[in-house]
Structure 1
Amino acid sequence: MRHVVVIGAGQAGAACVARLRSKGYEGRITLIGEEPVPPYQRPPLSKAYLLGEMPLERLYLRPESFYAENGIELRLGARVEAIDPAAKIVTVEGETLAYDDLVLTTGSTPRRLPAGMGGDLDGVVTVRTLDDVDAMAHRFGAGARVLIVGGGYIGLEAAAVAAKRDLDVTLVEMSDRILSRVAAPETSDFFRALHERNGVTIREGTGLRQLIGEGGHVTGAELSDGTRLELDFVVVGVGIVPETQLAEAAALEIENGVKTDLQGRTSDPSIWAAGDCASFPHGETRLRLESVGNAIDQAECVADNIAGAARDYAAKPWFWSDQYDVKLQIAGLSSGYDRVVTRPGEEGAVSFWYYAGTRLLAVDAMNDARAYMVGKRLIEAGKSPDPVAVADPATDLKALLKA
């Protein structure tokens, strides 16, 4: 009986094993995860779950019984120590496990502040796992003083939750504006204004020089402009890096993640990769996407190919972020844009449409699901509507799909 081993029990790993069974794969399947809980959703962790609006059971992607009922061996709280590609075995806590196909869905890990800056002090936290959120929940008491380091989506979402819990929130971003690496100034301006209306102090063009501690616990911070803050805790949201240690030790090719071909194979034909940890060909370049949508779609493509489909992965990038009462939905990739078109929506909704010349690249839609859906379909179809028509609120968006 053939054996597929999947390392990493997150969104991609769970999607891969479920897809294998749904496609009729009859061999043995083992899903290995380091955390002691079944695969769960990460996006609600720092929002609905932290706010107490979502119970633990609703985080789970599937009931734990699903895995046993579908003949999937779920090994939780287990760490894979090594991969031996020549022997086609993995070592799990001293035990060897043979595989025919191995799938790496190891995800990513948050960047942390160095110990020399105070990153090892108690009260300096990251937001990535269930344990992370459970450990920090007691700190989110009204009036507590928190510093958010990083003005990307991770940092802004943490700031929104803290503000909703009536904390005293300061966010610092080294770049000249929040979201500078992922969005246009128009989107940055929208979210800056949103956070400031909700009482968050945003310091752009300002970095963290040093955290200050007392008795091993963080008590303050010195910023790059010399400002000193008194604090109760710090949330670090300065991005994530692909988890490639096992792949590197197994001598797999690495290029901004585990390097795969269009079908998800690594440099070893019996080893595959999907999700945050994997980079894949995309046009003339390579791409690594950090999103739930990509984790699911890429993992399902790998499962199909293990089952013999031999199909290439066609990425359809989409992302979202929830902050206060605003749902941001993003379609496409904005890299290389030279023009942003603003389209007003109803009741304060707005969308920003990114163009490179006359080609539509991406759409950021704030509380405008219709603009997002139409923009996504246009991008996937390779259609680029006239920017003048897009900017005119009188234009029927659906009509653009027929043009």
Structure 2
Amino acid sequence: MADDVTMVIAGAGLAGAKAAQTLRDEGFTGRVVLVGDEQERPYERPPLSKEYLQGRAERESVFVHPRDWYAEHGVELRPGVPASAVDTDAHELVLADGDRIGYSTLLLATGSSPRRLPVPGTDLAGVHHLRTLADSERIAESLRTSRRLVAVGAGWIGLEVTAAARLADVAVTVVESASLPLLRVLGPEIAPVFADLHRAHDVDLRCDTGLAEILGRDGRVSGVRLGDGTEIEADAVVVGVGITPNTGPAEAGGLRVDDGVVVDEHHRTSDPDVHAAGDVARLLHPAYDRHLRVEHWANALNGGPAAARSMLGGDAGYDRLPYFFSDQYDLGMEYTGYAEPGGYDEVVVRGDLAAREFIAFWLADGRVQAGMNVNVWDVTAPIQRLIRSGAAVDTGRLADVDVPLDDLAPISPTHAER
């Protein structure tokens, strides 16, 4: 490509940073501009609810690149000014301060924002959401100074923060509207594993209940009131009830938006000169023949580079299987694939569910849709092969720990999908 071509990336998170790196790695010599709404340079988010929150990782370890990398590679990093709109007619990205940056091709990697609760008290001091590095540091300080925490929402973020709080000897009450934690993701067959795990660590788990109000005293949180009127004391509250994709710039530009910026398997939006990747993108996934919006680390890690190659004219579609991981207390897990509620008809467990050392498989019509390994390692590749094969499996052999997974998974070239 000619040196006068300008690639602009809106969103300086993991997807945006890896896209910028890929442009340079692939030999692009034109202008690269990376715009971010935070003052920090790009960093990874998983440590914010795991090792960094727990004080087991240094701050510098969360960043994608060393501080000097951007200047050394000719990437113009524009921190602290969010994108507000895409002007597709003028081929310009409009920033919140009114500045405009012309682009030849644009990548939207604007990520997502935590959902807010529509209840009184959310503006009190001591009420936290977790999305940014600064959020993680504020929560870590609360864990050092608080005796009682309420976590609203028993999703991955809520449970990882809960585990960090219990490791810091903070008493925790988890408030969840569903009947089990992680019910939507894991279903009633596997979700009890995480309920039992947290109760075993003395977490007060309140399911089937909602939050009516966050209570305060002198401008600071003092507790919460549940939907049934029960009041629970708290020195801090962490709200983890999901995220919303930051589609504002795309909507302003008239791009197709439907629970994210809609893109094809090449990360191309409804405008051929605009791409999208990461949390904000709802991608046509060839393995599932449908659009999926995946909110996890691996999607940003691999989707950003895939989008960059597409921006450079590459024609390889993105077909990596969804993947994420979690660490809570002594439980480590990896989840590969996609099984939506109502999209499977059987769950097969291989191993010891009670001991929390197993692999769970979600099947539809005898075919593996997703697999989750809990405290069992080095099995991601055969799980991927089982999903990709689309072949019906013998569920008795699938459940039998004495039958190697490689004997069930068709042998074929695989992606390094982590």
Give TM-score scaled by structure 1 length: 0.95
CA distance in 2, matches of 1:354, 1:277: 26
The code of the aligned residue for 1:90 comes to L
The code of the aligned residue for 2:333 comes to L
* Structure 1: runs of 5 or more not aligned: none
The code of the aligned residue for 1:107 comes to G
Of 309-318 and 11-20, more deviation after overlay is shown by 309-318
Mapped pair 1:293 → 2:298? yes
Matched residue, 1:393? 401
SS in 2 for 1:48: coil
The superposition leaves residues 259-318 of structure 1 with CA deviations (integer Å, 9 ceiling, x where unpaired) of 112211112211111110011223443211111111122222211111111222213111
Cα drift, residue 402 of structure 1: 4.8
- Which among 353, 367, 371 is matched to residue 361 of structure 2? 353
SS in 2 for 1:247: helix
SS in 1 for 2:225: strand
Matched residue, 1:378? 386
CA distance in 2, matches of 1:97, 1:363: 43
Mapped pair 1:320 → 2:322? no
CA distance in 2, matches of 1:229, 1:270: 52
Matched residue, 2:34? 31
Cα drift, residue 140 of structure 1: 0.3
The superposition leaves residues 33-67 of structure 1 with CA deviations (integer Å, 9 ceiling, x where unpaired) of 11111111100012211111111111111112222
Matched residue, 2:105? 101
CA distance in 2, matches of 1:81, 1:363: 39
The code of the aligned residue for 2:256 comes to E
The code of the aligned residue for 2:348 comes to V
Matched residue, 1:89? 92
CA distance in 2, matches of 1:381, 1:142: 51
Matched residue, 1:118? 121
Aligned 1:213-228 pairs, distance under 5 A: 213-228=216-231
Preserved CA contact (<8 Å) 2:85 2:248: no
The superposition leaves residues 45-93 of structure 1 with CA deviations (integer Å, 9 ceiling, x where unpaired) of 1221111111111111111222222111111122223322111112333
Aligned 1:55-74 pairs, distance under 5 A: 55-74=58-77
The superposition leaves residues 352-391 of structure 1 with CA deviations (integer Å, 9 ceiling, x where unpaired) of 1111121111111111113444212321343443110011
Aligned 1:35-54 pairs, distance under 5 A: 35-54=38-57
Matched residue, 1:193? 196
Preserved CA contact (<8 Å) 2:146 2:235: no
The code of the aligned residue for 1:158 comes to V
The superposition leaves residues 112-149 of structure 1 with CA deviations (integer Å, 9 ceiling, x where unpaired) of 112x4221221111011011112222210376111111
Identity %: 40
C-alpha root-mean-square deviation of aligned residues, in Å? 1.7
Matched residue, 1:339? 346
The code of the aligned residue for 1:374 comes to P
Preserved CA contact (<8 Å) 2:15 2:300: yes
Matched residue, 1:369? 377
Preserved CA contact (<8 Å) 2:331 2:356: no
SS in 2 for 1:102: strand
Matched residue, 2:270? 267
The code of the aligned residue for 1:314 comes to D
The superposition leaves residues 150-196 of structure 1 with CA deviations (integer Å, 9 ceiling, x where unpaired) of 11111111111111110010001111111111112232111111111
Preserved CA contact (<8 Å) 1:42 1:128: yes
Of 318-327 and 135-144, more deviation after overlay is shown by 135-144
Of 7-16 and 117-126, more deviation after overlay is shown by 117-126
SS in 1 for 2:185: coil
Of 162-171 and 90-99, more deviation after overlay is shown by 90-99
Preserved CA contact (<8 Å) 2:389 2:409: no
SS in 2 for 1:263: coil
CA distance in 2, matches of 1:354, 1:134: 37
Preserved CA contact (<8 Å) 2:193 2:356: no
